[in-house]
Amino acid sequence: MEVDVFNMKGKKVSKAELPAAIFEAPVKVDLMHQAYVRQMANSRLGTHSTKGRSEVSGGGRKPWRQKGTGRARQGSIRAAQWVGGGKIFTPKPRSYDKAMPKKMRRAALRSALSVKASEGAIVLVDEFKLDEAKTQKMAESLQALAGEGNVLVLIPANGPEYADVKRACANLSDAKTLNASYLNIRDLLGYKNVVMPVAALDVIASYLG
């Protein structure tokens, strides 16, 4: 699959070929869903905790005698039916981590990239460089490159040559900068367009090809 390569002003300068093994892979919706659910589950902290009746302070003395009062028998004022008592079947700290083999995770990424490529949502740039690290400049470039919709900006590395791009994207609510080696299913499915320099293709091909 051949796609156009643009400069930062949105003008076509050349063409580049997308690796067929990555951008023309079989689209497996179930696999993408599984990878997305796994990523969302693994991001949960699982630190929720509430107290049961044995953990609430007080309630050590029986509130009244067992018989003769006419009231229902009670053993503790910290039982679940009392105000201020413990809770039943309470959530406790736990791990929500889900396992998924690396081959399946990478196949899900190839499926998502293939969908983006078939929709024309992959935009290649010859060189990702700004004259100055201004949010307005970056917004104008992304508008010229991707048009309407939110944008995932992939950079090959976290070097100083891309520091201006990251700084200019930081204040854009509809754009996110991501290292190409950290590509994940959540960001791929969450952003309409993917903008990246040609150098980022080599990074993606190094672990997905």
pLDDT at 23: 93
Which tokens sit at 209? 């090809």
Residue 155 pairs in a beta bridge with: 179
179 lies in the same domain as 79: no
pLDDT tens digits for range 58-96: 999 999 999 999 999 999 999 999 999 999 998 999 999
Give yes or no for a contact between 78 and 58, defined as CB atoms under 8 angstroms apart.
yes
Range of the domain at 147: 2-45+96-208
105 lies in the same domain as 59: no
- Total number of domains in the chain: 2
As a whole number, mean pLDDT of residues 23-52 equals 95
147 lies in the same domain as 200: yes
102 lies in the same domain as 198: yes
pLDDT tens digits for range 120-176: 899 999 888 777 778 898 899 899 998 888 999 999 988 888 888 888 888 898 999
Q: Read off the CATH number of the domain in which 129 is found.
A: 3.40.1370.10
Element of type H or E holding 196: strand 193-197
167 lies in the same domain as 68: no
Q: Model-level pTM greater than 0.85?
A: no
